[in-house]
Amino acid sequence: MAATQRERLLDGVVQAVAAGGYVGARVSDICQAAGVTRPVFYEQFSGKEEAFLAAHRHGTAVVVRRMEEAFTAQPDWCTGVHASLRVVLAILAEVPAFATMAVVEIDAVGPAGRLAREQLRVRLRRLFVGCPKPPTGVSAELLVDTVVGGVYSTIYRYIAAGRHAELPGLLPTLAHFALAPFFGPAEAERRLAQAEAAGAGWRRPVLPCANP
């Protein structure tokens, strides 16, 4: 029962924050969305910030795990990057409330939110462990940080503007942006065409977290 109540509260955090923003969401709003009482909330969390961070940690862990599963199922790094981007864009489009909470509203939490966001970016960088060696004189670490940051920033802008449904359409551009620094534009285009062909029968993943 405690686990079920906690899961309901995590979902309540997502719904309340997506509706009113982190600053505007109250514990009572979270409880109402979750269908639980305030005493139950405080049995699980010390306050709104702890509940938000728990929901963010849980949801992003599920998303990154799905990305990693998609990546490792592919035969090479290029198709792996393409597959992982396809998964995250599909999930964020499918669950807009979670996307808003996890990507946009995390900025309103303060230092703890910035730390959580940076920890997420560090985990996303792991997808580039097997990337090709960049051109001479180019820092591999800085290049990966730039690519990850650029992809994250683009996704952020679309979610902040309420354009969640358009996210899957970003796949060709973001995948090209991720590969071109390592292969050059022409080779990146060729490899992405192969990745598209290989993923023709792909189905959207089912995400066991908040409802849209």
Task: Specify the pLDDT at position 208.
Answer: 47
pLDDT digit string (tens) for 2-42? 568 899 999 999 999 999 999 999 999 999 999 999 999 99
Q: Is residue 210 very low, low, confident or very high in pLDDT (cuts 50, 70, 90)?
A: very low
Task: Specify the pLDDT at position 136.
Answer: 82
Question: Quick check: 207 pLDDT over 90?
Answer: no
| Domains of the chain (ranges, CATH numbers) | 49-198 (1.10.357)
Own/partner pairs for 111-118, CB < 8 Å, 24+ apart? 112/49, 112/53, 113/52, 113/53, 113/56, 116/53, 116/56, 116/57
Q: Is residue 134 very low, low, confident or very high in pLDDT (cuts 50, 70, 90)?
A: confident
Task: Specify the pLDDT at position 205.
Answer: 55
Residues with Cβ < 8 Å from 154, sequence gap 6 or more? 170, 173, 174
- Between the alpha carbon of residue 13 and those of residues 16, 103, 159, the distances in Å are 5, 14, 18
pLDDT digit string (tens) for 166-179? 999 999 999 999 99
Average pLDDT over residues 35-60: 95
Own/partner pairs for 56-61, CB < 8 Å, 24+ apart? 56/101, 56/102, 56/106, 56/113, 56/116, 57/116, 58/10, 58/209, 59/10, 59/14, 59/98, 59/101, 59/102, 59/209, 59/210, 60/102, 60/120
Task: Specify the pLDDT at position 4.
Answer: 87
pTM (two decimals) = 0.89
**How crowded is residue 4: how many other Cβ atoms within 10 Å of its Cβ?**
9
pLDDT digit string (tens) for 61-105? 999 999 999 999 999 999 999 999 999 999 999 999 999 999 999
Asked whether 51 and 45 are in contact (CB, 8 A), the reply is yes
